[in-house]
Amino acid sequence: MMTPEVVMDLGQEALMMTMMLAGPLLIAALAVGLFVGIFQAATQIQEMTLSFIPKLGALVVTLLIGGPWMIKSLVDFTLELFNKIPGLVG
């Protein structure tokens, strides 16, 4: 049955899954952005595209490396959620 506790648990699981999937991408973008920012400050080059292109490259590499794990995790979570539906409805 759908009690408030069950809804909160499902919401918590969904937020954890979101953090697990977005975390590696955000960390990669943050690390590259910090490195580029330090480089720009040291060389006094203030070009906007200089920070965008390396971040995009880091995100692509992160997706290539972690993409299969991300897809597997999301599919497993979705299947688990679908399997819970009959118990939640009635």
Give the phi and the psi of residue 47 in degrees, each rounded to 5.
Answer: -105, 125
Report d(CA 47, CA 37) in Å as an integer.
11
| Side chain identity, residue 9 | D
Task: Give the range of the structural domain holding residue 59, as residue numbers without chain letter.
Answer: 4-89
DSSP state of 44: T
Q: What is the pTM of this model?
A: 0.81
Domain count, the chain: 1
Residue 90 has pLDDT above 80, yes or no: no
Chain segment 11-57, per-residue pLDDT in tens: 999 999 999 999 999 999 999 999 999 998 999 888 878 889 999 99
